[in-house]
Structure 1
């Protein structure tokens, strides 16, 4: 498994529910607006390519693999629990 930061910018149609449902299905955790953490058995390019199926051609997806425990302030409810369960 690998830890990822996933960000997105939906440009015109803003079909958020389709992407949100897939992020939920993947077990990703929304930590702030348009920004998720995910623990997946993929590479960053595989995650990006998969998520492109859920957005329009002009939308942006940004995926970064990370190894260290993230530090934050004022993230959405449940973020601490997700980080504690997924990050060493």
Structure 2
């Protein structure tokens, strides 16, 4: 899950991760710190949820996905029920 060498991983330094729906893989930049890796995983899972729920028009809406991912990450980090 954490960026095994993948020739298709974008060389863009702003790309923290991506989802390959055809191979059912999530790739995450392994150079990120642990919190950014977690946040990126949530971000990529939201992409998958949108795709699988038929909301394909929202799948590529990076602003929406990032906003949701940031909110979920903050909820998890700030709630002792989720963090042990």
TM-score by length of structure 1 reads: 0.25
Higher strand share: 1
Higher helix share: 2
